[in-house]
Structure 1
């Protein structure tokens, strides 16, 4: 008769008792739809105050219940989370599956000396079930847990700070996208408070100028007001989010970023989980010589770039230096990229021409049949030259290379992305060609991965070049999907071109 295995002696740990001061607020926000429904039911029955009080008390009591029923422990092989009162649930994750540790502290957390810890474990980590969340631990316990989970990492003697925020970075702050988001939230808040800025005297005066016979002064005034408010909001957002940004390499073989003035966030990832980098440059930031960098990695909450932020908007030379330090080699950042054939430029110029003609036709029809004013015609006339300039800029941005263990790509106009993906991170390849691409003898090569954006495209490659890159990237992976040449030689572009519309393969 076999005996059951002995129970693991590792003790269970509870959340910090001070989380009882934070949890009711979180539970109240989470249960707000239910509370509103209870209020409606109470008003319909004449017992609105009693129902609202009962629902609020039940929401507050969930905090002690959650604290009493939640426990965690870290054994030699697993990270375990136990929770639930009526239905007990134990989640166990092998320690080698731990990809990242994300420590976040909201203002109330910081006042009480607490932090919320999220342990990333999934391949792309896009589902809540792939993260273990502990809300909340003391700040000291959160730091000890991070060190405990990564204590088996490979030591790096060159540990130290890689980059820290500098005041000169603020010149890129007015150009980030946080400003429009902040203004949208402010507009929603004013709407809920029944404070409509459009019903003020300055707004009515501006509307009168826009509807007059000479609206250009009103247009200029409105544009300057929108630009000034957006830039101010963007600067405030950037300063609050990244005013104390710091990237460090720790002795245990991890990279740690810390940022945030109101809500602080510290993300720690193992360097062996980093499969590459992506340098992004929006058009306004690129005009000022700036860029931002994220690491292509698994287990991090996806944001812009789909990975862990390495550098916010900063001078491009500084960003490239950090990218070299993260990868440990300068080749993927500095290597020369192979250009695209001229057919790719023709495709972009044709699209720009069609867009300009379609815009002019729609504007003409709107003026004739929909009483649209004629004065915006200069903006419509600019569609064609601006489209041609964007097409030329987009073509010049295209490039790719295979250097060492990395495949490198670059593309984009409004947002130019230069990425380097490790070959070991590639789990599949796809060859996709639209009807117009096939007519031009071009194809898009897509490398799929479990990290970052999960797919990285090399658009408008010549078919021969796409097959060459695919064979060098993952040898033999696409061979079963290619038709051999009639003479029995290796597959060629001519014999495989008909199948590049939907060809795909996976590995790993």
Structure 2
């Protein structure tokens, strides 16, 4: 189709509501301010709602789109008209989502990505909202085009509302391809929900909304009845009890909110492999989503273990693939292959996703340690900052009336920083196995990445001032997938060069002198087959 088309008229029932919800704090503030100043608060609020609804309505009349054999184009804007154009051969993802209101009205939100949506601006085209059948047909048209038509098939990550796939398929292709289940949610996994800390976001949203509402309405929250009573109760406690009560209250709220968030996001989770060469992830309770990843765009996997989740033996599995968003998080970006679950389950699913068995899998292969120089660097960086704070604060406390808690806190933090330094060193490791580079790093979030060696397009060798003093380098394998760069931190220069040369034979040769060139093959000869190393 080449004609300019509009969004669904049913969007007029959604966009005004969305705009009113977004402007709710300002509208409530307008009501309170108007009532307190002259008694015309309701009129001002009604006028504000009318303007907000008008702005939401105008989007239907000012937004059009069309699909040509070469481009996807969107025209939008009233005072400033914009035409966004994406070449069809650059389309990497089409996300089709439906929240509860969309599903009631039979609508969907379509987002066309070019593989750069993890960056600001990203080049995405958004159409909110289309009819569900039209959105599904558009997804099929953009991603399942044949070589005789718009060029080489470019299927990447696809997120869609459950049910849209079947609507979009032609009758001849309605039969689902053969599929193999790789993982499914077990009720016992919900116990990991409180340790994801996603409830902190909910707490922040509520606090921000309340703060903005109070600011717009010129309201002192400390004078509100329940808040005043709670502050009075806290004031009757000693300082240690106040801190303990606040920590417990926040922890309980965050745990409950995180558990509900886990259920809403991952209820009905199912990971399957289809014979058409794709991985499918289905999940969600109120907003049901399905993500499709073409396996030829998969460049590896990442086993992610945030500190609290790691403490209870949990982990997550994330796809390292081209065309999937990473800047907004794995869950929102569509690259989550397994929600927080037992770490052994994450490793087992990773083995099944990559193929092979657990004995020679890059996910379970033993790693090479980074040596005493890397360990000293971890402790020096961790303890040096604390020591510097103590050295600065002690004289200021003695001669400039600086509060004593400053240097006492820094002194008390020394054991914790030492433990973190030790944990950061234990997390370091790397190896090569047939077809994959494996690297691990991190403490607050430990990450183990298995990256396809064929997907490595370059290497960065970085040496800071302090690294040069200790003979260490940070080696970064650059790739078009995932985070677009995966580091092997604090290895010796000789080890880094051997690793890069073994992973990408000949790639570094033009940049190495005879002295720098590795004099022997990579040390882990047992992990590399002769054809790869």
State yes or no: 1:405 paired with 2:398.
no
- Work out the CA distance in 1 between the residues paired with 2:475 and 2:290: 35
- Work out the CA distance in 2 between the residues paired with 1:127 and 1:210: 47
- Work out the CA distance in 2 between the residues paired with 1:423 and 1:209: 60
Match of 1:146 in 2: 139
What do residues 170-203 of structure 1 show as CA deviations (whole Å, max 9, x unaligned)? 2111111312121111122222244348953343
Would you say the 8 A contact 2:62–2:78 is kept in 1? yes
SS at match of 1:122: coil
In the alignment, which of 236, 248, 259 is matched to residue 272 of structure 2? 248
- Against the structure 1 CA distance between its residues 183 and 366, is the aligned structure 2 distance closer, same or farther, given a 3 Å change threshold? farther
Would you say the 8 A contact 2:370–2:429 is kept in 1? yes
State yes or no: 1:223 paired with 2:272.
no
Shift of 1:464: 0.7
Shift of 1:444: 0.1
SS at match of 1:391: helix
Match of 2:517 in 1: 491
State yes or no: 1:320 paired with 2:312.
no
Shift of 1:99: 1.9
Shift of 1:319: 1.4
- Against the structure 1 CA distance between its residues 271 and 393, is the aligned structure 2 distance closer, same or farther, given a 3 Å change threshold? same
Q: What aligned pairs does 1:243-392 form with structure 2 within 5 A after superposition?
A: 243-302=267-326, 303-304=328-329, 308-330=335-357, 331-361=361-391, 364=394, 368=398, 369-370=400-401, 372=403, 377=408, 380-392=410-422
- Work out the CA distance in 2 between the residues paired with 1:64 and 1:375: 55
Shift of 1:343: 1.0
TM-score w.r.t. the length of structure 2 is 0.75
Match of 1:97 in 2: 90
State yes or no: 1:24 paired with 2:16.
yes
- Against the structure 1 CA distance between its residues 324 and 149, is the aligned structure 2 distance closer, same or farther, given a 3 Å change threshold? farther
- Against the structure 1 CA distance between its residues 381 and 93, is the aligned structure 2 distance closer, same or farther, given a 3 Å change threshold? closer
Q: What aligned pairs does 1:120-139 form with structure 2 within 5 A after superposition?
A: 120-123=113-116, 125-128=118-121, 130-139=123-132
Does 308-317 or 329-338 show the bigger shift? 329-338
- Work out the CA distance in 1 between the residues paired with 2:501 and 2:321: 24
Shift of 1:97: 2.8
- Against the structure 1 CA distance between its residues 353 and 246, is the aligned structure 2 distance closer, same or farther, given a 3 Å change threshold? same
- Against the structure 1 CA distance between its residues 374 and 405, is the aligned structure 2 distance closer, same or farther, given a 3 Å change threshold? closer
- Against the structure 1 CA distance between its residues 481 and 207, is the aligned structure 2 distance closer, same or farther, given a 3 Å change threshold? farther
- Against the structure 1 CA distance between its residues 274 and 348, is the aligned structure 2 distance closer, same or farther, given a 3 Å change threshold? same
SS at match of 2:387: helix
SS at match of 2:119: coil
SS at match of 1:209: coil
Match of 1:414 in 2: 444
Match of 1:15 in 2: 7
SS at match of 2:362: helix
- Against the structure 1 CA distance between its residues 355 and 332, is the aligned structure 2 distance closer, same or farther, given a 3 Å change threshold? same
Shift of 1:292: 0.9
Would you say the 8 A contact 1:123–1:450 is kept in 2? no
What do residues 223-247 of structure 1 show as CA deviations (whole Å, max 9, x unaligned)? 3233222222222222222233333
State yes or no: 1:200 paired with 2:192.
no
Aligned residue-pair number: 473
Shift of 1:335: 1.8
- Against the structure 1 CA distance between its residues 389 and 467, is the aligned structure 2 distance closer, same or farther, given a 3 Å change threshold? same
SS at match of 1:300: coil
Q: What aligned pairs does 1:469-480 form with structure 2 within 5 A after superposition?
A: 469-480=499-510
- Work out the CA distance in 1 between the residues paired with 2:365 and 2:258: 34
Structure 2 spans left out of the alignment, 5+ residues: 35-39, 146-152, 156-172, 520-533
State yes or no: 1:112 paired with 2:132.
no
TM-score w.r.t. the length of structure 1 is 0.79
SS at match of 2:237: helix
- Work out the CA distance in 2 between the residues paired with 1:346 and 1:113: 60
Match of 2:149 in 1: none
Shift of 1:385: 2.5
Shift of 1:19: 1.2
- Against the structure 1 CA distance between its residues 48 and 353, is the aligned structure 2 distance closer, same or farther, given a 3 Å change threshold? closer
